[in-house]
Amino acid sequence: MIKEFKAFISQGNAIDLAVGVLIGAAFGKIVASLVADIITPVLSLALGRVDFKNLFVPLAGQTDPMLEEARKHGAVLAYGVFINTTIEFLIVAFSIFLVVRQINKLRGTPPKP
């Protein structure tokens, strides 16, 4: 079993996967910053200065205007955070789509049998 594990590790698959995870994590941070620092403020300005991060429904009757304070006093339904996360996901998914599309173009079409 140790020989199999060494063979698995020495193949490119495990190393490629590790590199992909690390690059993916770094890319995720870039996209999170893009959404939080660029896209969300522009959308907020266009929608009348709405701060998505602080859009929530209090479930415990609290009246705090900020999400962090409301969470300290009870349960909240933080749909603004969900909106930001959805935007981040869509950007990541679209970026991956563009990369895979470009790789497929570089590879060319496989010959038909």
| Complete DSSP assignment for 23-44 | HHHHHHHHHHHHIIIIIHHHHH
Asked if residue 40 belongs to a domain, the reply is yes
pLDDT at 89: 83
CB 55 within 8 A of CB 83: yes
Asked if residue 98 belongs to a domain, the reply is yes
Asked if residue 28 belongs to a domain, the reply is yes
Asked if residue 61 belongs to a domain, the reply is yes
State the CATH number of the domain containing residue 35: 1.10.1200.120
* Token code pair at residue 50: 């709405």
C-alpha span between 26 and 20 (Å, rounded): 10
49 pLDDT higher than 80? no
Over residues 77-89, the pLDDT tens digits come to: 888 888 888 887 8
Asked if residue 80 belongs to a domain, the reply is yes
Structural domain for 69, as ranges: 2-107
Asked if residue 90 belongs to a domain, the reply is yes
Q: What is the pTM of this model?
A: 0.59
C-alpha span between 2 and 4 (Å, rounded): 5
Over residues 4-16, the pLDDT tens digits come to: 877 777 776 677 7
Asked if residue 112 belongs to a domain, the reply is no
| Rounded (to 5) percent helix, strand, coil in the chain | 75, 5, 25
Q: Fill in the DSSP letter of residue 47.
A: T
Looking at the chain, how many residues does it have? 113
Number of domains in the chain: 1
pLDDT at 109: 67
Q: What is the largest CA-CA distance in the chain?
A: 67
Residue 56 CB: number of other CB atoms within 10 A?
Answer: 20
The number of CA neighbours under 13 Å toward the Cβ of 64 is 18
Asked if residue 113 belongs to a domain, the reply is no
